[in-house]
Structure formats: C-alpha cells, structure tokens
Chains A and B, each alone.
Chain A
Amino acid sequence: MKNDEKHISSYSSLVIVLVILLFLTTISVLVTGFHLGAFTVAVALIIASVKVYIVLTQFMHLRFENLFLRLAVAGVFVMFALITIGTFIDYFFR
C-alpha cells in the first residue's frame, strides 16, 4: 500500500463481503451432497479460491496495492495451480 494513503472501506461493503463469504461457505457444504466424482476436489477448490480472492482483495486491501505486489500474490496462485495440475496428472491418468 502506498505509505501516504489510507483506505477505509465502508461498513456496508464489508457486510456485503461477509454475506458473500457465508453464502459461499454454505454452497461448499451443500455441494458435498452431490457425487461429482473426480471433480469433487476441483469444485471445492474453485469455491475456496473465490473466497480467498475476495478476502485478499477486500479484507486485505490488495486492490489498493501496486501492480508488483498484486503480481507477486498472483504468482503464488499460479504456483499453487501448477502444483495441483502436477498432482492431478497422476490421478487422472492412473
């Protein structure tokens, strides 16, 4: 975050984010009732990733940061995606 700037999110926007997170948590619980086979983990990870994105951008103020820091954080997720792909090359072709 730029040192000379402060960003205060409004209560209403924080509450909306909270509601969205709770909604997604409910979805991730309900979805376990469906038999999605090999995609069970993928669906859980997609929902979790959306939640992480919201927390990072809204609660952790990443949307106010400079491009370098945003790219660094994005790089972590790219790394995570690649590791997941590497693991599932085993599972899908076993």
Chain B
Amino acid sequence: MGNEPEVSYLEYQGRHKGIWSWLLSTDHKRIGLLYLYAVVFFFFVAATLGLLMRIELIAPGRTIMEPQTYNGLFTIHGIIMIFVIVIPGLAAVFGNFFLPILIGARDVAFPKLNLFSWYLYMTGAFLGVASQFLGSGPPDTGWTFYVPYSVESGTSVIWALTAAFILGFSSILTGLNFIVTIHRMRAPGMKWMRMPLFPWALYATAWIQVLATPIIGITLLMVIAERVLNIGFFDPALGGDPVLFQHLFWIYSHPAVYIMILPAMGVVTEIFPTFSQKPVFGYGAIVISSLAIAFVGYFVWGHHMFTSGMSYYARWFFSFLTFIVAIPSAIKVFNWISTMYGGSIDLKPPLLYAISFIFLFLIGGFTGLVLGSLATNVQTHDTAFVVAHFHYIIFGGMGFSFFAAIHYWFPKMYGRMYNNKVANIAWGFNFVGFNLLYFPHFIIGIQGMPRRAYDYLPQFQTGHVLSTIGAFILITGLILMVINLMVAARRGAKAPANPWHGVTLEWMIPSPPPHENFDEIPEITTQPYFFGSKDKNKE
C-alpha cells in the first residue's frame, strides 16, 4: 500500500483550479485544512483580545480602555474561543483530516455536507466577529448570555446569539457525518474493538454534538424571541424563569466541555503509544471511559448553578454526579501514564505537549473538584479561581492537545518536517507563559478577586502583573510555534511516510496522503496498537 508515486491531496487537480479547488473541495483532508486555517486565524483574533484585557488589568483603574469596551472584549473573546475554536477545533480539523484515514476509508460519509458544515462555520464565525461592529455596540453579556441581562442589554446581543446558533448547526452536521462514517465506512476487519482510540473519542464526541447542540440552539432562539417578540420564557414579569435559561444553557454547555476534551484525550491517546513504542495500556478501559464521560457528562450541568437559587436536592444531585464524572477521566490519566511506563520514550515535541496536557488537565481537574463541592463552590463562584480552572481545562487541555496534534500529524499533513529545536523552545515559552498567566488567578480568586471585573483592589495587583507577564510570554511562544510550522510547510525537509514509527493506518500511507488516501482499502487483522512487528513499520 502506498508504494507507487501518487498525486498527493495537496497537488491533486480536480474539476476546480486555484483557490476554488479549496473552497469547493469535498476532500475531507482539504476541508480539515480549511478548518485549521480558520481556527488559527480566529484564535489569534481572540488571543489578541485576551492580551488587550491583560494589559488593561495590569494596574487598577483605567489603563488602556473604558469599562464598556472591556465588557465587549471579554464577551467576544469568550464567544470566539468557545464556539469558534474550542468546541469545533480538534474534531473539525484533525477529525476531518484523520478520521477516514484512521478507519481505512476514502472520505467521510457525506462529503458535500462536510463542506457545507465549513461554510456554516465560517458564516457563524464572521457573524460573531461582526457583532462587535454591527448594530448598537459590542455585546456585553459574556459568552454565557445569562438572562435577564442578555434580554435587557442594549448592545448587539442578537447578532452574537445568531452567530452561536449557526455555529451550533455546523457542529451538529459534523457530528452526524462522523457517526455515520464510523458506523458504515470502517475498513474490512476493523471491528469496533479494533478501531483506534482517536476515532473512538470522536464517536463519543459526535453523539454529544448531535444530542446536546439542538438544546442550545433552541435556547438562544428563545432569548431572541424574548427580546424581539416579548415572549416570557425567562423574564419573571412575563411569567418566565431566569433559572430555566441557566438549566437550558448548561444542559448543552457542560457537555460542550466534553465535546472539546474528548477529542483532546483521543489525540494524546494516539501520541503516547507512538512515542513510547508500546501498545496503549488498557484499550478497553479507555473506550469505556470515553463513552462514560460522554454519558455522565450530560448530567452534571447543574454544578454551574449552585449559587443560582436552585433547590437543595438538585445541588446535592449535581454535586454527586460531578464527582462521578471524575472517575473515567482519572482512568484515562492512569492509562496514559501506564502506557509510557517501561516504554522506549522519545521526548519529541508531540510528546512534550501531550505530557503537558496531563499536567495541566490534572490541575484543571482537581480544582474542578473544589468547584464541584457545594461548600467550596459558594466561596469561589464567579471569582478568578473559576477563570483559572476553566483555562487550565480548556486551554491546558484542548489547547495543548491541539498543539500536540499539530506537531504529531504535521509531517503527514504537509509532507514536511518542522524544526524540532524551535518547536521545543516554543513549547517552553508556551508552558511557562501559560502557567504564569493563569496560576495566579487561583490565588487571587481565593482571595476574592471577582471574574469579569474591569477594576480591582490594589491587593490583587501582584497577581495581575504576573498574569500579564505570562500572557506576553505565552503569545511569544505561540507566534514562534506558528512561524516554525509555517516555515516548515514551505521549506521543511521532506517527511518520510512514518517519521515517528507509528503503527496506525495514517502512517502506512505516503506523506502527504494521496487524494483518495488508499490505493486499496486495507484489511485489518490486528489491534490498532500492535508493536509486535514494529521493525517492519519503520522506514
């Protein structure tokens, strides 16, 4: 397989030429790259907004902007980061590119629907950014759109709600595509328990996308209806209930955390066996824990609402389940570390990022238990502690996993190798910068620093100064990392088919992959992480 010279997907000329061969392509690999470029672009837009917020907070009082501008910045920073980058990121970029290859298929089940999803995604993303400039000023509700304020705010909330609604549609269609692809297009012999673990993670994720996303879609429409038509869903004066909004919002938005973290877990689960050169430890346990996280993750949304006036029994119920969901996550951590144990570890950039993922995710996870406990939640709710916690989970988890994924699969995607030394230096900046940026928030949060606050008491300044320094270190590392990869994509050394000595299917085809992935669909006869004959897989 893959021994004959073939035209790669990057050089393939179909019906359309030039830019149209990308914008109208139904090739899952090209669509994956379209998502990648969009995600990177919007990430730097949102990161710049975050940096501006950090500069504002370097000292108490006004520094560079007015309070209302600050409110607009943290709102759009959140909307872009959550709905445009974090939720679709890994599944849309690496899921699109590698899911068909990893299961031995030529494409996803519905290629045209796949391209349509990207257009919906771009429409929603640009609408989100445009909401800053359209109508009556940047939305200032925060990305959570809590009522009653989101109903009463005089800013362009409707534009932002519509953007999130459209992005949700894109997510549903991608999830639907992946479910059908995994059910119907696995290579002969690839039974369920022979499927690699990144597709398993995508499968669990896709079910959440399909089942949970419509709820947020309807909820956002209800807010629009309340604003425009004065229908009383959430306004008590009209017979509505503001806590109902929080229920509906978090019924989606908590599983959304798993939409982004499950593929992240899937990515590192691919990386640890390859860079340890031994089979993944506890394949079955990882599969079951992915499904368990997806299932139990549906029923913990109430832990975002402990101070909302929710009933005592509901708080007890959701707190208990929150602790339950920690179990499958902990199983995975145990499996990853056990996979490395006794292995032939090769500390290349992908593994550095994957190990960092475990470290940062653990800090995010353990501090999540502080927030999941009823007593301590009351003390830390809506403080900077929460900001630190979710950035450790979302950026430390999904973000570092994304960086791990791009460094792991870059040679396959572009057929070029990047500079390892520069990648390692960039990792150092990113890791140090990230921790300096977010860890002080744990401390000032416990001391009482509220989240989303424009101004603060002088006692919190040390933490804010350290955090702002961390932001500059982090952005330096991110720019260095992107430049390294961009240079490599154009001028990097040619990548062999299997530079990391991996054993899953993507490493059995040329780099970059041919247009239709496989000359012949492979027949699967072994487990996916079979290193027993690894010598024959080496270049």
- Nearest-CB residue, chain A, relative to B301: A86
Q: Tell me, yes or no, whether A93 is within 8 Å of chain B by CB.
A: yes
Chain A residues with CB under 8 Å of B311's CB are 89-94
Q: Tell me, yes or no, whether B133 is within 8 Å of chain A by CB.
A: no
Residue from A83, A89, A91, A94 in contact with B317 in the complex, judged by beta carbons closer than 8 Å: A89
Given contacts A76-B211, A89-B317, A90-B243, contact A83 B310 (CB under 8 A): no
Q: Which of B211, B243, B302, B314 has the most CB of A within 10 A?
A: B314
Query: In whole angstroms, what is the CA distance A90 to B310 when docked?
Result: 6
Q: Tell me, yes or no, whether A46 is within 8 Å of chain B by CB.
A: no
State whether B298 touches A93 (Cβ < 8 A): no
Chain A proximity mask over B294-322: 1 for CB below 8 Å, otherwise 0: 00001101100000011111100110000
Q: Name the interface residues of A37-94: CB closer than 8 Å to any CB of B.
A: 76, 79, 82-83, 86-87, 89-94
Can you give 21 contacting A-B residue pairs, CB < 8 Å?
Answer: A76-B211, A79-B211, A79-B298, A82-B298, A82-B299, A83-B298, A86-B301, A86-B302, A86-B317, A87-B251, A89-B313, A89-B314, A90-B302, A90-B310, A90-B311, A90-B314, A93-B311, A93-B312, A94-B310, A94-B311, A94-B314
For the A-B complex, the count of residue pairs with Cβ-Cβ distances under 8 Å equals: 36
User: How far in angstroms is the closest Cβ of chain B from A83?
Assistant: 6
Chain A proximity mask over B263-280: 1 for CB below 8 Å, otherwise 0: 000000000000000000
- Nearest-CB residue, chain A, relative to B215: A83
User: How far in angstroms is the closest Cβ of chain A from B448?
Assistant: 28
What are the 6 tightest A-B residue pairs by CB atom distance, in nearest-first order? A90-B314, A93-B311, A94-B311, A93-B313, A89-B314, A90-B310
Query: In whole angstroms, what is the CA distance A87 to B308 when docked?
Result: 13
Query: In whole angstroms, what is the CA distance A91 to B314 when docked?
Result: 9
- Nearest-CB residue, chain A, relative to B315: A90
Interface residue SS majority, chain B: helix
Q: Tell me, yes or no, whether B227 is within 8 Å of chain A by CB.
A: no
- Chain A residues near B (Cβ < 8 Å): 76, 79, 82-83, 86-87, 89-94
Chain A residues with CB under 8 Å of B302's CB are 86, 90
State whether B251 touches A83 (Cβ < 8 A): yes
Interface residue SS majority, chain A: helix
Query: In whole angstroms, what is the CA distance A9 to B299 when docked?
Result: 39
Query: In whole angstroms, what is the CA distance A76 to B298 when docked?
Result: 12
Query: In whole angstroms, what is the CA distance A83 to B309 when docked?
Result: 19
Chain A residues with CB under 8 Å of B348's CB are none
Chain B residues with CB under 8 Å of A83's CB are 251, 298-299
- Nearest-CB residue, chain A, relative to B316: A89
User: How far in angstroms is the closest Cβ of chain B from A51?
Assistant: 17
User: How far in angstroms is the closest Cβ of chain B from A87?
Assistant: 5
Query: In whole angstroms, what is the CA distance A65 to B301 when docked?
Result: 33
- Nearest-CB residue, chain A, relative to B179: A72
- Nearest-CB residue, chain B, relative to A82: B299
Chain A residues with CB under 8 Å of B299's CB are 82-83, 86
Given contacts A76-B211, A79-B211, contact A90 B247 (CB under 8 A): yes
- Nearest-CB residue, chain B, relative to A69: B183
Chain A residues with CB under 8 Å of B313's CB are 89, 93
Kindly list 15 other residue pairs between chains A and B, CB separation below 8 angstroms, not including A89-B314, A90-B311, A94-B314. A79-B298, A82-B298, A83-B298, A86-B299, A86-B301, A86-B314, A87-B251, A89-B311, A90-B310, A90-B314, A93-B311, A93-B312, A93-B313, A94-B309, A94-B310
User: How far in angstroms is the closest Cβ of chain A from B102?
Assistant: 23
User: How far in angstroms is the closest Cβ of chain A from B158?
Assistant: 26
Chain A residues with CB under 8 Å of B301's CB are 86
Chain B residues with CB under 8 Å of A87's CB are 247, 251
Chain A residues with CB under 8 Å of B247's CB are 87, 90
Chain B residues with CB under 8 Å of A86's CB are 299, 301-302, 314, 317-318
Query: In whole angstroms, what is the CA distance A93 to B313 when docked?
Result: 7
User: How far in angstroms is the closest Cβ of chain B from A65?
Assistant: 13
Chain B residues with CB under 8 Å of A92's CB are 311
Residue from A76, A79, A82, A93 in contact with B314 in the complex, judged by beta carbons closer than 8 Å: A93
User: How far in angstroms is the closest Cβ of chain A from B147?
Assistant: 16
Query: In whole angstroms, what is the CA distance A21 to B417 when docked?
Result: 61
Chain A residues with CB under 8 Å of B309's CB are 94
